[in-house]
Chain A
Amino acid sequence: QKEVEQNSGPLSVPEGAIASLNCTYSDRGSQSFFWYRQYSGKSPELIMFIYSNGDKEDGRFTAQLNKASQYVSLLIRDSQPSDSATYLCAVKKGSARQLTFGSGTQLTVLP
């Protein structure tokens, strides 16, 4: 079992819809959870991080964490074509400094 699992997609949604990206992790000692966005040919850039169970909202983005189910998700409201990218879920265990990444979900927002 991979430490961090994501549905590779591709996931296609129409412009203006809600895109839902999911991630599960295997290590219950994981403490911090990150969503990175990576455009084709570019480097990953941080969108959001979450530490506590529940929801965290930032503009059109909402991260959701459920530690009991070892599940973290990212919702993108009012999706735009510019949101088309690969979204990487990353997990940090305890006091560790390194991130463990999932394989990413490719999102396409159709105009």
Chain B
Amino acid sequence: DAGVIQSPRHEVTEMGQEVTLRCKPISGHDYLFWYRQTMMRGLELLIYFNNNVPIDDSGMPEDRFSAKMPNASFSTLKIQPSEPRDSAVYFCASSLNPGATEAFFGQGTRLTVV
């Protein structure tokens, strides 16, 4: 398996623009997580899905952020409109259920909003 695949790897956008980050989890994994990592706040959970259903979105910072998982092999995280403070590395991770012990991370998307 190729692991968790994220795209794009890097994104530079202007403030106010819409940004869409994409993730393909490992095949067969029931759980998908979106994390954001910054120097100031570390690695924070934004939202996670189980069997394509959002379970906990309490980490989503504002209504500008939204996430979808239309099927088991694809998820998106959208920011509209983007702001400079959204600049961070966004990681997608997936894990198995039941009895999963670890989450496997994608390579991340480095987002810069100017």
Contact = CB atoms under 8 A, between A and B. Distances in A.
B25 interface: no
Contacts, number: 42
A52 to B, nearest CB: 13
B114 interface: no
A102 B102 contact: no
Interface residues of B, number: 23
Given A43-B108, A49-B102, A99 B42 contact: no
B74 to A, nearest CB: 19
A1 to B, nearest CB: 15
A44 B108 CA distance: 10
A34 interface: yes
A42 B6 CA distance: 13
A89 to B, nearest CB: 11
Contact of B45 (A43, A49, A100): A100
B101 interface: yes
What's the interface size class on A, roughly? 10 to 19
Interface in B1-46: 31, 33, 35, 41-45
9 contacts: A32-B101, A43-B106, A44-B91, A49-B102, A88-B42, A97-B95, A100-B45, A101-B35, A102-B42
Interface of B: 31, 33, 35, 41-45, 48, 50, 55-56, 91, 95, 97, 100-103, 105-108
Given A46-B103, A97-B55, A99-B103, 6 more contacts: A44-B105, A45-B105, A88-B42, A97-B100, A103-B41, A104-B42
